[in-house]
Amino acid sequence: MTATERALPVKTIVGYALGSLGTGGFATLPGLVLVFYLTDTLGVTALLAGVLVTAAKIWDVLIDPVIGARSDRALARHGSRRGFMRAGALLLPVFFVLTFAVPAGLEPAASGLWVLVAFMLTATAFSLFQVPYIALPAELADGYDQRTRLLTWRVVVLTAAILLFGAGGPMLRRLGGENEYLGYLIMAVVAGVVIGGGMLLASRVAPRGVGAHAAASGGHPGGGIREHYKAGLAVLRRSQSFRALLLTFMLQGLATGVMLAGANYVAVWVLHSEAALELLFVALIAPALFCAPLWGVIARRVGKERGFVLASVLFGVAALSLTAMLWAPGAWVYLPVALAGAGYAGMQSLPMAMLPDVISHDAAEHGDGQAGTFSGVWTAGETTGMALGATALTLMLAATGYIESVGATAVEQSDAAVMGIVLSFSALPAALIAVSLLSLRRYTLRKSDIDRKVLV
């Protein structure tokens, strides 16, 4: 840490980390169960399910840059992004419950339309919170190591939330017994309240009153939606490191998104046990929970970018080894999943700690801090990656002949469909991780660049 870095109060670190109880829950539960809910409860075809989920995510991508730019304006005018965050926290639980409240007996097409509209509203509420939330580290911490510390503990809570929702969500769903519609509704009510509560607590960390950061935001975009998109394109054009980091994170979001969406299918059709879904999540997230602080230590020793490479390689190799499920599915899969979880912790904490470095470096170079604009573009990219993960899975399912079902109706899947599920959970994510490492090579910022700006 440089001599001029201010140590963050524990209260700030804890408060900010609690927001990941909400972001982790929302990123995990819909990604885990929404496609499965559409195909195996509502009877929507795999291809149409992919189209519906992707359409909702496209909407999310379109609004993120606008929300980011407007949160910059709110910061400049009122000294806080808190209003956006609170609105998202209060609205999300309502729309989340509606997403999983489709009445039994609706035709698949009508059910799909219900989910599309409700999930678009949910995604809008989430963006109102998520975009300013991601912008906060550049305003809360002013140094390379303090941002690593802040984001490391955020990822500890994030991984705990993924474990809680990934394992607890399906358990809550089973409380409905044979009534799958009731089970999903119970799950949505409990999860929605917890997600909204975590977001509401984190909103209290957002600075209030016009301070140094708010005053420095004189370059925020004004005008309408067109100007907001122009501002987003401008930060992409002028920051090579941002482009490289964003593309890397998008590709890795695509890799983790396809695995997340495929986990339910692996549990049911490859491991032949619905309970295996919780075990997969425990195997994935328990190591991540303990390894997130370790990646912070590694980053201080070798740099965030080198630590990021190591974490990505570990995840990719572990994912690739899971292709052996084609010939010998069994309990052994939990070991490589655990190794992937260890890598996943670094793949989350390190790029999120690198993003505020990019933002602060850009502000020092151009004198017009636009943290909200950066975070809006970042969230749009992250959403794109995760959305395309679900799309890639549904395309694979459709191509290999996956059969959808309504309610508890029993069906049999072909060997080709099972193969598609396995490859979506193993070889495809590994290939995406390999490509992401090529884009990461273009990230040029180092600790010395950030420390030099802090000293200035």
Residue 18 has pLDDT above 80, yes or no: yes
**Per-residue pLDDT, 456:** 46
**Per-residue pLDDT, 227:** 66
Residue 452 has pLDDT above 90, yes or no: no
Higher pLDDT, 118 or 39: 118
Any domain includes 216: no
Model confidence pLDDT, tens digit, residues 265-287: 888 888 888 778 778 878 877 88
Any domain includes 222: no
Structure tokens that stand for 10 in this block: 């524990």
Nearest CA-CA partner of 268 in 165, 174, 338, 387 = 174
Model confidence pLDDT, tens digit, residues 125-158: 998 998 888 878 767 766 666 767 777 777 778 7
Any domain includes 129: yes
Number of domain units in the chain: 1
CA dist 452 and 338 (Å) reads 38
**Per-residue pLDDT, 198:** 92
**Per-residue pLDDT, 190:** 95
Residue 379 has pLDDT above 90, yes or no: no
Any domain includes 325: yes
List the CATH number of the domain containing 438.
1.20.1250.20
CA dist 129 and 196 (Å) reads 10
Residue 166 has pLDDT above 80, yes or no: no
**Per-residue pLDDT, 19:** 87
Average pLDDT over residues 183-200: 94
**Per-residue pLDDT, 348:** 84
Any domain includes 80: yes
Any domain includes 422: yes
Which residues constitute the domain of residue 72? 16-208+231-455
Any domain includes 203: yes
**Per-residue pLDDT, 15:** 85
Any domain includes 219: no
**Per-residue pLDDT, 217:** 41
Model confidence pLDDT, tens digit, residues 333-375: 999 999 998 998 899 888 888 888 887 777 777 666 566 677 7
Model confidence pLDDT, tens digit, residues 411-439: 677 888 889 999 999 999 999 999 999 99
Measured from the Cβ of residue 10, the count of other Cβ atoms closer than 10 Å reads 9
